[in-house]
Amino acid sequence: MKKFKANWEITHNWQLIFPALGILLSLGCGFLIARRLDFFLDPGITQKIYLTVLSLVLTYAIIQLSLFCFKKLKNRWLLENRWEFIAVFIVFAITGSTAGRISSPVMQAIGLGSETISGWIYWPLRILIIFPIYQVLLIIIAWIFGQYAFFYQFEKKMLSRFGLGFLFKK
C-alpha cells in the first residue's frame, strides 16, 4: 500500500477515494460497453461468463488508456499530485454523461423533441443546448471533487478560444 500511495502521490488516506472511484467507474463503463456488445447470447451461464470476461478486458483497456492519457497530459495540465489526474478524469466523465442525459429532457421541455423536428435540426440544436449545460455542470462537479481552481482556469481558456473570453473580464 505504501508503494501505491507513493506512486500516486497520496499523502492523506481520504485521497484513496479517487483511485478507488476511478477503478469502479472504469469497471462500470466496461460492463456497460460489454452489455451493448451482448447481442448473440441467450440468457444463461454462458452469457454471464461472457459479460464478466468482456467487462474485465474492457476495464483493463480503459485503465490502460487512462494511464496513457495521464502520461501525455502530465506536462500540459499543471496539477500538484498524480491522484488529481484521476479526479479530473472523473469530473469530465460525470459532467459529460450528465450533460448528455439532461439535454434530451431539456429539448423535450422546450418542444424540440426528436419526434417533432428533423434530425438535421435536432442534433445541432441539442449540441448547442448541451454546451452551456456542460459549462455550468463542469464547474459545479469540479467544486464537489475539489478541483474548482483547475477547472475555472480550464473554462477561461476554453471559452476564450471560442471567443467568449469576455465572460471572465472584470
Span 8-63, pLDDT tens digits: 888 888 999 999 999 999 999 999 999 888 777 677 788 888 899 999 999 999 99
Closest C-alpha among 76, 84, 29, 36 to residue 57 = 29
The Cα–Cα gap between 164 and 135 comes to 12
CB 112 within 8 A of CB 122: yes
Q: How far is CA 6 from CA 3, 105, 124, in A?
A: 5, 44, 46
The Cα–Cα gap between 85 and 144 comes to 15
Q: Is the pLDDT of residue 115 over 80?
A: yes
pLDDT digits (tens, 9 = 90+) for 148-170: 999 998 888 888 887 877 776 65
Measure CA of the first residue to CA of the last residue in the chain; give whole Å.
47
The Cα–Cα gap between 122 and 124 comes to 6
The Cα–Cα gap between 105 and 116 comes to 14
Q: How far is CA 89 from CA 70, 80, 93, 159, in A?
A: 9, 15, 6, 20
Which residues 6+ apart lie within 8 Å of 64 measured at CB? none
Tell me which amino acid residue 4 is. F
The torsion defined by the Cα of 34, 35, 37 and 40, in degrees rounded to 10, comes to 130
pLDDT of residue 170: 58
pLDDT of residue 2: 85
Helix (H, G, I), strand (E, B) or coil at 76: coil
